[in-house]
Amino acid sequence: MINTRAALRQNLAMIVLLLAVIVISGFSAAWDALSGKRWFRDITMQAPFYAVTAEAEPVGGGLAVRGTMVKRRCEYQGLRAYVVRASGLRVPVALDVSPETAVWGGGSRPPSEIAEAWGPWVISAPLYGRAAGWEIFAFHLCPDGRLQVNLFAAGPWLPAN
């Protein structure tokens, strides 16, 4: 027991350094794992956008969606729209952003401190079956080199009158 205490005292600096390396490497792995979660990216302000609002209206062949958002960071890479069935099944559908890009050209928006409008974008109606809702996911390339995929907006599918 006395030899053990003496050995610990002699090697205390090395033991502390080893523990620090273990803690730091564990923290890095935990940070990477948590960064994959949307709620964590929102809390740590890593998400490319926030304060998204959305409204929708039926149009011929689909649903027109528009709203507001605040762009925080990252470079826009694209969008993907889904129709959500009552069972929860997501069905990919076409998303037409040309009504908006015809106005300003599209692409990546610069970061902003204030809300700005997005849309109208037209989500195509599913080719078969009934839609219960819709979702749009946004893809962004962020400064850390990661491609982030985030749920941008979602809502119920509104049937045509």
pLDDT in tens for each of the 161 residues of the chain? 667 777 667 777 777 777 776 666 666 677 666 666 767 776 777 788 899 999 999 998 899 999 999 999 899 999 999 999 999 999 999 999 998 888 888 888 889 999 999 999 999 999 888 899 999 999 999 888 889 999 999 999 987 65
The label of the residue with tokens 């490319």 reads: 48
Question: In 3D, which of 101, 140, 141 has the Cα closest to residue 118?
Answer: 101
Backbone CA torsion sign across 36, 38, 43, 44? positive
Q: Where are the beta strands (DSSP E) in 14-115?
A: 49-59, 62-71, 75-84, 90-93, 95-96
pTM given for the model: 0.76
Tokens representing residue 154 in the block: 């979602």
**Could you tell me if 41 and 142 are in contact, meaning their C-beta atoms sit under 8 angstroms apart?**
no
